[in-house]
Structure 1
Amino acid sequence: MANPMAGEVEVVLDGEPHAAKLTLGALAELEADLGEETLMAVIERFETGRFSSRDVLALLVAGLRGGGWQGRGADLRTVEIAGGPVEAARLAAVLLARAFTVPGAGEA
C-alpha cells in the first residue's frame, strides 16, 4: 500500500498495486523524457491542461520507477491501468502534487 505522507501514490497495473513516488532521480528522468529544461515547465504542462497521454505515461513511469518498479514505458503501454485513462491522468497529477508537498506542512 502506498504511503501518501511519503509522497507515494498507488497505481494498479493489471490488478496488482504498485507504489509510485517521484524521487529526484525520477524527476530528472521525467524532464529528459518530456524534453523540458526545468521541473516548473513540467508542472506548468499539467497546471495549464497542456499535457498529452504521452506525458501522463512518462510521469507514471517515472513515479513507478521511483517506487522500485523495474519496467519501462513500453511495458506500461501494454498493461491495464485501473480506472483507465482518466484515473491515470489523475494519478499523474497527484504524483506531481505530492512530490512538492512537505508532509505535515500547515498542521498545528
Structure 2
Amino acid sequence: MNPARGEVPLMIDGDRRTLCLTLGALAEIEAGLGCDGFAALGMQLKQLTAADLVLVVQALLKGGEGVSADLSGARIDPADAARAVADCFEAAL
C-alpha cells in the first residue's frame, strides 16, 4: 500500500485489496459511465447505482493492482466501497 501514490485499501471477499485512480482507470470509468469529461463524471459519481459502483471499483482495482477482476459475486460492503472510491478520487485529485 502506497499512500503517496493515492492507493486505498478495500476488503473484497475477506482480502485486503488495493485501489488506485490512475489515468487508465479514469478513462475506463468515464467510458463505462458514458461521461464526456470531468464535469459529467462528477455529476455521475454523485448518483452511482450499484452496477456503477462495481464498474468503478473494478477500474480502480485494475489501477491499484494491474489486474482485471469480475466482482459480480464478490462480497464487498457497499458503504466501504463508496468510501474507498471517494478516498481514491480525493487522494488523486
TM over 0.5: yes
Query: Please, what TM-score do these two structures have when normalized by structure 2?
Result: 0.86
State which structure, 1 or 2, has the greater radius of gyration over its C-alpha atoms. 1
Give the aligned residue type for 2:75.
E
In the TM superposition, structure 1's runs of 4+ consecutive aligned residues that sit over 6 Å from their partners are none
Q: Structure 1: which 5+ residue stretches go unaligned?
A: 101-108
1:64 matched to 2:49? no
Query: Please, what TM-score do these two structures have when normalized by structure 1?
Result: 0.76
1:18 deviates by 1.4
Q: Is the 8 A contact 1:21 1:63 kept in 2?
A: yes
1:13 deviates by 1.3
Count of paired positions:
93
1:45 matched to 2:26? no
Question: What is the aligned-residue RMSD (CA, Å)?
Answer: 1.5
Counterpart for residue 105 of structure 1: none
Identical pairs, percent: 37
Q: Structure 2: which 5+ residue stretches go unaligned?
A: none
Q: Is the 8 A contact 1:18 1:69 kept in 2?
A: no
Going by fraction, where is helix more abundant, 1 or 2? Answer: 2
1:3 deviates by 2.2
